[in-house]
Structure 1
């Protein structure tokens, strides 16, 4: 496998272990148990086990679902599966069932907590894991054992999240030209984050809503959140076309401690179908590293689209760069700031793009253009 494939297995298993450890930590807080927590969890989840004459299971299940938004049964815990591996009784069906049950446990909850499809790319039947069931079983077992050797319990979520994002960066590097599909280089991300939070990083003026219409793995959103004084007050919004990358973003935000209530991500085509369209659809900060010179549907009917109609023309079919820019700008709150990474061509190409660029300049929408290996457009204070 190349990096773009095996990252799905490695990052998916890391995330599942994180959810499993979080389950045990939450149970420990609820029950006041600090030793042999895995065994105690199985005991408390047994319908026959009683506390003061009352079954403990219903109240514990309710607490876990309300606190975590998901439920992992004792037999599906990462530590339980490791025990099976060490006892040579593990089968791939054990892990497959555990992932399936986790997704099912969230289906009656809000969309933000819905894990459906989250592990769709962890294909345990792939021949790339091994030509036989025994080889595939051994490959996954070895990987899970290697991950189990890493101490996650004594680290906070942000440390684990940073390690997770480090791995994403390494996979992006190994994936070559496809890297931009799911990751913005940290140095570029830092510049955008500092610009959109400048004089809006604390107090009543702090950025509280962030939107990335091409969210990728969510690294750009998270970086903005790290540049404000109270990140707990921030809500994160984003849309991503690629389903695999969309799932990666959901994992990444959760690993960085973003609560379900503050995470609003959607799997969809940003240019074909505008989102969000309901309140709130304007944001304090808009950040974006969209695909360069992508093809899009620029049929004339889009001239009536509120995102594009003020400019009289549409970006060319083979170059959606300005379409992404205008989409992001449309969703920018008054007095907000947008930072977007674009190729140099947007500065010089004429025809319809020249007309859009001219109107942006005449309307005083462009505050700065910063030349790096990549290009930024940062519109200033929104002016009507």
Structure 2
């Protein structure tokens, strides 16, 4: 089966689940995202379990009916089989199988069996598959009463039956041989209707193509055993791209995000992409107020090898503003805390806080970071942005900047740039790139306009940046002294060479052009004088009248 066919079948299964939601009045409901993602995850874990037991036991691999063979096993043999499974595989009891639910779907109160099955899977796999809140509470895989999202209690069993019917007609078996790009595509499709956060910080969706550009620029070949961090992780697109570039088994991901929904999406993303070992480092909480990732001594914040983030740009954080400006936070927020605007509190530039937090969290002499910022940050002449840029230049941390095309992010019309920082001190120059003219405008969902980069444009951006190439009106390599002279501006356009086009003319050609100009100017002056005289005449008439 081709990759295209597998993708098409998987998308069809997702659409079928959404159709069931719509038929039971849950289309566009706030709970729809939870229902769709959790049932999708249940199906994935069920099929992954069946796949892994076949890899662990050859007799199962040759079995015509794996689930029947498992059901016929003794309890001791089944328990022994569980011990052979990889740690990243969810452990399922035989009554957890989708086939078991399918065979009992006509039981009375089937919705209660459905709900209890998901809840029991959550508790059985709590240690491996849960994520944490800032206070240390465990957030389980599945909701305890998923079917209760259907308001009419007499329709809940029918709803669960309809969902199970959609799941049994599809199998993930052919998908487990697929790589990161496959699951990135499926994940984007799965959450595309739900990636609008209703939490405090708001979620900014990072396109897979931009995440890949960042990863391929940041990660050198041969990178192993490193930490990757995002303090405003959202659904995890950036950390997943970095992890894939490094190798999922060669890195550990650490994240924090204030949005519960974001963390649920992120957990699903990590599970799909073989990063279950990082789930214990996913934290639901306020990064600025209460960062949770501490060093081994527990006396300070952890420092990371790689940090990537597309933080929210402007959010009202006035409730915590004075706390963050206090003595306890001064070391981390060394450039200052934005003031509360008089009229529009939600315009507080929270990205400046995340940027300071990221710089503070980079490993000394080795940390690397890439942060999406509003392009206005590159040239702001005063305030916190300028202080941050001056610090970056003084510490020789600036590897480069890419100014992206407008609408590269479908969820915001703000022009954005990516700032690349490097703490290795190996760069004495920076590359500044203006990619704002690249890309093609396309319609997203028939309404939002988005700019899409072609494969050729993506390769041009990556190779030009990594090779520190200077290209006319596209990229320029400048040393730190020159950046300081330009008031620490990170805008490529301010460093492009101004070109004056020269045209060679003979004496006769030059004189002819000058005569033409003189003649035209004489005509224009004459017209102007005539018009002035006419206006004066009209004014005289008005005066006498």
Smaller-chain TM-score range? Answer: 0.7 to 0.9
- TM-superposition CA deviations, 1:169-221 (whole Å, max 9, x none): 52257x49999716311222122212211xx1x22x45732111111111211
Residues 285/359 of structure 1: CA separation in 2 closer, same or farther (3 Å cut): same
Q: Is the 8 A contact 1:293 1:320 kept in 2?
A: yes
* DSSP 3-state at the match of 2:184: helix
Gaps of 5+ in 1: 48-54
Say whether residues 1:325 and 2:367 are aligned partners. Answer: no
CA distance in 1, matches of 2:145, 2:250: 33
C-alpha RMSD of matched pairs (Å) = 3.3
1:357 corresponds in structure 2 to: 389
* Aligned partner of 1:125 among 148, 152, 169: 148
Say whether residues 1:381 and 2:419 are aligned partners. Answer: no
- TM-superposition CA deviations, 1:255-290 (whole Å, max 9, x none): 111242686211111101123112492222110011
Say whether residues 1:82 and 2:112 are aligned partners. Answer: no
Structure 1 window deviating more from structure 2 (99-108 vs 340-349): it is 340-349
Residues 371/262 of structure 1: CA separation in 2 closer, same or farther (3 Å cut): same
Residues 208/109 of structure 1: CA separation in 2 closer, same or farther (3 Å cut): closer
CA distance in 1, matches of 2:303, 2:139: 28
CA distance in 1, matches of 2:177, 2:275: 10
Residues 40/185 of structure 1: CA separation in 2 closer, same or farther (3 Å cut): same
Say whether residues 1:281 and 2:312 are aligned partners. Answer: no
TM-score, normalised by the number of residues in structure 1: 0.81
CA distance in 2, matches of 1:145, 1:302: 58
Residues 350/137 of structure 1: CA separation in 2 closer, same or farther (3 Å cut): farther
1:138 corresponds in structure 2 to: 158
Residues 90/163 of structure 1: CA separation in 2 closer, same or farther (3 Å cut): farther
* Aligned partner of 1:155 among 172, 175, 194: 175
1:35 corresponds in structure 2 to: 64
CA distance in 1, matches of 2:398, 2:369: 10
Say whether residues 1:291 and 2:312 are aligned partners. Answer: yes
* DSSP 3-state at the match of 2:402: coil
CA distance in 1, matches of 2:144, 2:373: 30
Deviation at 1:327, TM superposition (A): 1.0
Q: Which has the higher contact order (CA 8 A, sep 6+)?
A: 1
1:213 corresponds in structure 2 to: 231
Residues 37/379 of structure 1: CA separation in 2 closer, same or farther (3 Å cut): same
1:50 corresponds in structure 2 to: none
Residues 259/132 of structure 1: CA separation in 2 closer, same or farther (3 Å cut): closer
Residues 138/165 of structure 1: CA separation in 2 closer, same or farther (3 Å cut): same
Q: Is the 8 A contact 1:193 1:224 kept in 2?
A: yes
1:306 corresponds in structure 2 to: 331
CA distance in 1, matches of 2:358, 2:256: 12
TM-score, normalised by the number of residues in structure 2: 0.59
- TM-superposition CA deviations, 1:298-341 (whole Å, max 9, x none): 333256443223x3x33445221111011112222233321111
Larger-gyration structure (1/2): 2
Residues 60/231 of structure 1: CA separation in 2 closer, same or farther (3 Å cut): closer
* DSSP 3-state at the match of 1:96: helix
CA distance in 1, matches of 2:92, 2:354: 40
CA distance in 2, matches of 1:150, 1:235: 32
Q: Is the 8 A contact 1:112 1:260 kept in 2?
A: no
CA distance in 2, matches of 1:242, 1:112: 13
CA distance in 2, matches of 1:256, 1:226: 9
CA distance in 2, matches of 1:57, 1:143: 28
